[in-house]
Chain A
Amino acid sequence: MIGLLKRDLALAFRAGGGFGLSLAFFLIFAALVPFGIGPETGRLAEIAAGILWLGALLACLLSLDRIFQLDWEDGTLDLLATSPLPLEGVAALKAAAHWITTGLPLVVAAPALGLLLNLPAPAYPWLIASLLLGTPALSAIGTFGAALTVGVKRGGLLLSLLVLPLYVPTLILGALAATRGAQGLDAWAPLLLGAGITLACIALLPFAAAAALRVNLR
């Protein structure tokens, strides 16, 4: 199991793409926002938390089709399916690898971008906490979506249509926690609810993803 995780991470690091790319996308997204909204710091401060959450979500989405697509094309997925490792475990590991290569860097980069967008100081711990607790759900849901569309040629658009509505609860609660934190309000309730959704996603969605993979590999 650890071997698979290591392999995925090594591939992501060495093949380029995955790791740096979504981070760069996140940076560009945050840099483009002031061009669209206007440079007034007051207005930027108000929306910074929500923008960062949206950026994280889109950066996550971009790298989703890489989760299974390459393994599907070169037949690795068939080998994984016949290996002693249960397919649920494969799905969970793929989600974990995706989170380490995209979710975690986003969490680390978010404070710097918050500075860029003039995020109010009290919001930082809430933003980091909500991203840290929320992005694993994005990876788990995304893995499920990728498993559904792995057999579809050019499934990228379909993938986003399927996955984005599923992101709604995580986005709402995560952005709400960060925004409330920015306003100095109590943000524990949305943060904990978001964490609950994340835990449920991690616990249950690998089973759904494995079911979808089995159908696609049949």
Chain B
Amino acid sequence: MPKVRAMSSFWEYANPRRFMATSAALLPWIAGVAALCLSVGLIWGFFFTPNDFRQGSTVKIIYIHVPAAIMAINAWLMMLVASLIWVIRRHHVSALAAKAAAPVGMVFTLIALFTGAVWGQPMWGTWWEWDPRLTSFLILFLFYLGYMALWEAIENPDQAADLTSVLCLVGSVFAILSRYALLFWNQGLHQGTTVSTVGIGVEAQEGVADVFAYPLLVSLTGFGFLFLALVLYRTRTEIRARRVKALIAQERMA
């Protein structure tokens, strides 16, 4: 009886060679979708939406601010999952993907903080406010910094992967704790979440009006694919760097 090969399992990509082959094929497409969605979403958002009746044209910063903030949190979530996979199943690609995602997530956090400051200045009259949402993003930024610093500080790659995974797990718990402690500490200026109220037909009073919602969704998709493309690209770089290191070590032994 011929061996029936199951549809390729997700775990096959733990093999660096499989991962490299598949990601090489996928990367141009993902990058293309990201470029397309971002340019469509941002151009649509910036030039073809009306100004908000209260916020004027500053509302358009939403097309960068909200997707960047959402992806900043999701990047940490992805690192958490990748760290768990490394701890449980010890797939090197997973650890490298977590390492690759950290700087990307950090930059998204920085973008969210920066655009938030630019938006907050005309709207709230202040660049910065110790509001729970803003503060928790600042703390998230610090977590990213610590995570990356730990990767840099430890020479042995496996040891670094282990320690950063533990840090990521503990850090996630404390990030959530901080979020709720902050709610206790100060009532916020920042509005509640609006994106979950984005939807077709939702009244403008409750959430984001349709005119703004469509380009926002496109831009959100674009940021998602951008994150995916950057992480894949950086993971590939990490794998190549690992191979080069192995080759150099072999040469030295010979």
Asked whether, in the complex, the Cβ of A152 is within 8 Å of the Cβ of B181, the reply is no
Pick from B153, B154, B162, B181: contact of A168, CB below 8 A: B181
Other contacts beyond A155-B153, A158-B150: 5, CB < 8 A: A152-B153, A161-B142, A164-B142, A215-B162, A218-B159
Asked whether, in the complex, the Cβ of A215 is within 8 Å of the Cβ of B163, the reply is yes
- Provided the pairs A172-B181, A172-B182 are in contact, do residues A212 and B166 lie with their beta carbons within 8 angstroms? yes
Q: Please classify how large the interface on chain B is, using the bins under 10, 10 to 19, 20 to 34, 35 or more.
A: 20 to 34
In angstroms, Cα B182 to Cα A168, docked, is: 9
Asked whether, in the complex, the Cβ of A172 is within 8 Å of the Cβ of B178, the reply is yes
Asked whether, in the complex, the Cβ of B154 is within 8 Å of the Cβ of A162, the reply is no
**Can you list, as one digit per residue, whether each of B121-142 has a CB less than 8 Å from chain A (1) or not (0)?**
0000000000000000001001
In angstroms, Cα B161 to Cα A218, docked, is: 13
Pick from B145, B163, B185: contact of A212, CB below 8 A: B163
Tell me how far the C-beta of A133 lies from the nearest C-beta in chain B, rounded to whole angstroms: 14
User: Is B169 among interface residues, defined by CB-CB distance under 8 A?
Assistant: yes
Chain A to chain B: the 4 pairs with minimum beta-carbon distance, closest first: A169-B181, A169-B177, A215-B162, A172-B181
User: Is A211 among interface residues, defined by CB-CB distance under 8 A?
Assistant: yes
**Among B139, B142, B169, B170, which residue has the most Cβ atoms of chain A within 10 A?**
B170
Report B-chain residues with C-beta under 8 Å of the C-beta of A148.
150, 163, 166-167
Asked whether, in the complex, the Cβ of A193 is within 8 Å of the Cβ of B181, the reply is yes
Report A-chain residues with C-beta under 8 Å of the C-beta of B159.
151, 215-216, 218
Q: Which residue of A lies closest to B141 (CB)?
A: A165
Report A-chain residues with C-beta under 8 Å of the C-beta of B166.
148, 208, 211-212, 215
**Among B153, B178, B185, which residue has the most Cβ atoms of chain A within 10 A?**
B153
